[in-house]
């Protein structure tokens, strides 16, 4: 055991204060085993905040081996593709009933089977005040009362939400992706009273929520002070007069209303839509300014229709959809979009002066480029130096020099790239462009290469070999479409730093099931020792294998 250090003489309270500024992994990696006294301090610390989303498996294993469940204060677990089976693995090591100091629990992409195992034990967590679900649909509502103050739900029906609220009487903050029931709405049949103060509702694609559903819901929430309401494209909840009546009648304590909608217009013009949000109620009583952008698109019948975007500022969502032909009916500062993290940019025309005068995105994490008209300079629209994730949607023709000069040289923090095989071949000139390949090799840690819908990549096996040569020493996450099962073995053997891989292949001749996969891996990828895996059938002829790997 090493001799005492100056840090070892610090009072325990001061050591605990130091821990507040470090991640759990950094605390344990730096101080575990330093000496007997520090080990005792680590054992007595009960405020570890664990966020295992997108973690390498070896780090996950190290932390789980170094702490006990009663030391965890907040916990984020994820069964996304890059950490497959993580939730099952965690609760195989820790009994949830022993997480007695847990205050916040977030479960990402959990399935119903794993959720039911956890659900039955939640009543043991007397300190749990925050529960969140992401990327999980229609999970069973709880059946026992919990002292939750904050609840985040992925897609659920109004009746499922009603059941959640019946068992969370102390709830203050609610965030939910909501769809309507096909049967009667329980909020109408059995009204309840809640103490909710902050409400965030998102209507996902194909939600059929009506103003009548919202009326029944708001009737149960008379104490709400803050509302954020976001709607994806296609919904008709854009009537300013209906919103005014709804908010006046049912939310008398409302202080702040934030709103985003992409409605489909019939015979109504954008000017008519925005005029309903320019009454004294909106402009003078509350100063909730609703802005309106619009652009023309061709519908499925090849007719030009108007797509509009209604929103308040500060912008109420972290995602923003923008088209280069966008026009604005209202004036706003171009610096009003600091909250936007994910930009979906459709290039259906040249970059207009109007666009550059009205929009600037200074703090993006992710950029998705669609319908590439041509690759313009983006520096007057986007602060490219902050972007970490870039997606180029399939079939966009790209000139390597444009990609290099307009994107790569400015995207100094780019770490993740999602692109079709065809576009990857284009921008790298089939892996021969030294400037672009050098930057990709140095910067890209996460790569997703998918098949183009209309373009076939010739000799993909050769391209896979080039990909391995370029990325084998630095790539940490890989999602790829490959020609065969043998190619998956090649990638697992050659990619030296992979923490996760999702590989999809045609299974006509090499169909794999769980009983055969492990022996096949033992024979063909002998270096794999500590990993989790999942087999997913994406179609009758295609199989995706997912791996969470440890080195």
Q: Which residues pair with 345 in a beta bridge?
A: 322, 369
Q: Edge to edge, what strands does the sheet with 416-420 contain?
A: 319-323, 342-346, 366-370, 389-392, 416-420, 446-450, 477-481, 500-506, 542-549, 531-537
**CATH code for the domain of 538:** 3.40.50.150
Contact 305, 299 (CB under 8 A): yes
CB 195 within 8 A of CB 170: yes
* Alpha helix ranges (H) inside 265-384: 270-275, 280, 353-358
Domain membership flag for residue 511: yes
> Taking a C-beta distance cutoff of 8 angstroms, is the pair 235, 207 a contact?
yes
Domain-embedded: residue 145: no
Q: Domain check: are 334 and 352 in the same one?
A: yes
**446-469 CB burial, b ≥16 within 10 A, e <16:** bbbbbbbeeeebeebeebbebbbe
Domain-located, residue 59: no
DSSP 279: S
Is 173 part of any domain?
A: no
Measured CA distances, 494 to 253, 348, 476, 489 (Å): 61, 40, 12, 9
* Structure-token match 């909710």, residue found: 196
**The pLDDT value given to residue 374:** 67
420 lies in the same domain as 490: no
Reduced 3-state DSSP string for 305-335: EEEEEEEECCCCCCEEEEECCCEECCCCCCC
Please tell me whether residues 546 and 484 are part of one structural domain.
Answer: yes
Between the CA atoms of 71, 74, 77 and 83, what dihedral angle is there, to the nearest 10 degrees? -70
Q: Is 500 helix (H, G, I), strand (E, B) or coil?
A: strand
- The three-state secondary structure class of 252 is coil
Q: Is residue 13 part of a domain?
A: yes
Radius of gyration of the chain (CA): 26
Q: What is the DSSP letter of 122?
A: G
Shared-domain flag, residues 502 and 453: no
Distances (CA, A) of 200 to 152, 153, 174, 244, 247: 9, 10, 6, 18, 14
Q: What are phi and psi of 460, to 5 degrees?
A: -65, -30
In a domain, 118, yes or no: no
Domain co-membership, 36 together with 5: yes
Based on the domain organization, do 480 and 441 belong to the same domain?
A: no
Rounded to 5 degrees, what are φ and ψ at 429?
50, 50
Q: Give the range of the structural domain holding residue 490, as residue numbers without chain letter.
A: 473-551
Question: Is residue 298 domain-resident?
Answer: yes
pTM of the model: 0.93
Looking at the fold, whether 341 and 368 belong to one and the same domain comes out as yes
Residues of the chain with pLDDT under 70: 1-7, 234-235, 266, 297-304, 372-374, 394-397, 452-460, 509-512
Query: Which distant-in-sequence residues (6+ apart) come within 8 Å of 522 by Cβ?
Result: 528
- C-alpha atoms less than 13 angstroms from C-alpha of 194 in its C-beta half-sphere: 31
CA 307/CA 171 separation, integer angstroms: 37
Measure CA 149 to chain center: 23
What pLDDT, on a 0 to 100 scale, did the predictor assign at position 50?
Answer: 97
Q: What domain count does the chain have?
A: 4
Is 313 in the same domain as 326?
no
Same domain, 338 and 438: yes
């Amino acid at each position: 055991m090493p001799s005492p250090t100056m840090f070892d003489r610090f009072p325990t309270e001061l050591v605990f204060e130091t821990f507040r500024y470090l991640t759990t992994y950094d605390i344990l990696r730096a101080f575990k085993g330093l000496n007997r006294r520090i080990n005792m301090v680590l054992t007595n610390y009960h405020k570890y905040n664990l966020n295992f989303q997108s973690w390498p498996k070896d780090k996950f294993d190290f932390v789980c081996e170094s702490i006990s469940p009663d030391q965890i204060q907040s916990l984020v677990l994820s069964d996304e593709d890059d950490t497959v089976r993580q939730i099952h693995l965690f609760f195989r090591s820790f009994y949830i009933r022993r997480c007695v100091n847990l205050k916040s629990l977030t479960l990402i992409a959990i399935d119903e089977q794993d959720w039911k195992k956890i659900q039955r034990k939640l009543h043991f967590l007397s300190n749990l005040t925050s529960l969140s679900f992401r990327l999980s649909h229609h999970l069973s509502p709880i059946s026992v009362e919990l002292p939750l103050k904050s609840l985040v739900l992925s897609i659920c029906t109004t009746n499922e939400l009603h059941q959640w609220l019946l068992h969370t009487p102390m709830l203050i903050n609610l965030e939910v992706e909501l769809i309507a029931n096909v049967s009667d709405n329980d909020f109408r049949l059995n009204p309840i009273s809640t103490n909710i103060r902050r409400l965030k509702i998102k209507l996902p694609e194909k939600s059929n929520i009506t103003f009548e559903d919202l009326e029944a819901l708001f009737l149960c929430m008379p104490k709400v002070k803050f509302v954020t309401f976001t709607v994806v494209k296609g919904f008709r909840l854009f009537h300013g007069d209906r919103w005014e009546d709804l908010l006046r009648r049912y939310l008398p304590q409302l202080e702040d209303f934030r709103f985003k909608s992409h409605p489909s217009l019939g015979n109504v013009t954008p000017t008519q839509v925005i005029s309903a949000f320019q009454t004294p109620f909106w402009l003078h009583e509350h100063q909730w300014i609703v802005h309106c952008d619009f652009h023309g698109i061709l519908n499925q019948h090849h007719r030009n229709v108007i797509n509009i975007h209604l929103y308040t500022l500060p912008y109420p969502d972290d995602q923003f959809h923008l088209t280069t032909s966008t026009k604005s009916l209202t004036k706003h500062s171009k610096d009003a979009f600091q909250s936007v993290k994910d930009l979906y940019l459709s290039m259906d025309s040249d970059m207009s002066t109007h666009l550059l005068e009205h929009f600037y995105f200074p703090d993006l994490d992710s950029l998705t480029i669609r319908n590439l008209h041509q690759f313009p300079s983006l520096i007057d629209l986007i602060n490219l130096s902050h972007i970490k994730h870039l997606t180029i949607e399939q079939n966009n023709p790209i000139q390597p020099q444009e990609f290099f000069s307009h994107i790569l040289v400015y995207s100094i923090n780019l770490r993740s790239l999602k692109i079709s095989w065809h576009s990857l071949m284009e921008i790298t000139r089939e892996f021969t462009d030294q400037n672009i390949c050098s930057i990709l090799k140095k910067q890209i840690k996460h790569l997703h290469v998918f098949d183009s819908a209309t373009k076939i990549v010739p000799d993909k096996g050769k391209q896979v070999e080039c990909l391995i040569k370029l990325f084998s020493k630095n790539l940490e996450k890989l999602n790829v479409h490959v020609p065969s099962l043998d190619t998956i073995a090649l990638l697992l053997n050659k990619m030296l730093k992979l923490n996760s891989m999702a590989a999809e292949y045609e299974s006509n001749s090499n169909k794999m099931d769980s009983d055969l996969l492990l022996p096949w891996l033992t024979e063909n990828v002998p270096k794999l020792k500590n990993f989790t895996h999942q087999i997913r059938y994406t179609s009758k002829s295609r199989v995706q294998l997912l791996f969470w790997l440890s080195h």
